[in-house]
Amino acid sequence: MNRPREYGTDEERRAYINSHMSQLHPVMKKLRELMETHPRGFIMSSPNPIMVLSNMLKLAAAKKCVEVGVFTGYSSLAWALSIPEDGKVVACDISTEFTDIGKPFWKEAGVDHKIDLRIAPAVDTLQSLIDAGESGTFDFIYVDGDKLNADVIYELSLKLLRTNGIIAFDNSFMHGYLLKPEEEDERQDVPVIRKLNVKIQQDPRVTAVMLDVGDGVYMCRKN
């Protein structure tokens, strides 16, 4: 039996996928358009993995979320729009330089009351949630920052998550660096994520799958 013919390059497939995604929430679209002209706008998460994860939050009826690495709050906004009125997103960042750009958009979308912005190292914020007795109560944790502490964040996240809760690590491909041989690592954070990806794959505490969306999202369900 002949194999089906494959059509299109990876770039063409991604363009096709992006062009067939539902429209963004109007406020998310406004924030995204604003950041298109910003010198650091390329840091913003791709829309398709955010849409996938937002759908997952709604399907799971998630209420309690954590985000590590807020930047201008595009993904924080997505999570807040995806959870009920009494839900919360603990948004972790170390600076208000970029979060101040996003905060008016949270307010415009009517979800600013759901977002608890914590300006402190993420490891400290996660530990403070554990110390406050919130272990095992979170539904979803999205990690898109502090790559050098990714392993510690993973371990703390597992404590905070309920059974069947999800940790999603963005940039699991590390912009393609992880597809190269290990000896070609050029950035300090690349070997950290390389090691963590292996650890997750072998970890009996989670069931994990890496999604080929954006720069790769490693989605881990706590068993």
- pLDDT tens digits for range 108-154: 999 999 999 999 999 999 999 999 999 999 999 999 999 999 999 99
Residues 6+ apart with CB under 8 A from 84: 61, 63
Asked whether residue 1 carries a pLDDT value surpassing 60, the answer given is no
- pLDDT tens digits for range 81-119: 999 999 999 999 999 999 999 999 999 999 999 999 999
The closest alpha carbon to 98, from 35, 161, 53, 49, belongs to 35
Sheet (strand 115-119) strand order: 115-119, 88-93, 64-68, 138-143, 161-170, 217-222, 206-211
Asked whether residue 72 carries a pLDDT value surpassing 80, the answer given is yes
> Considering the entire predicted model, what is its pTM?
0.93
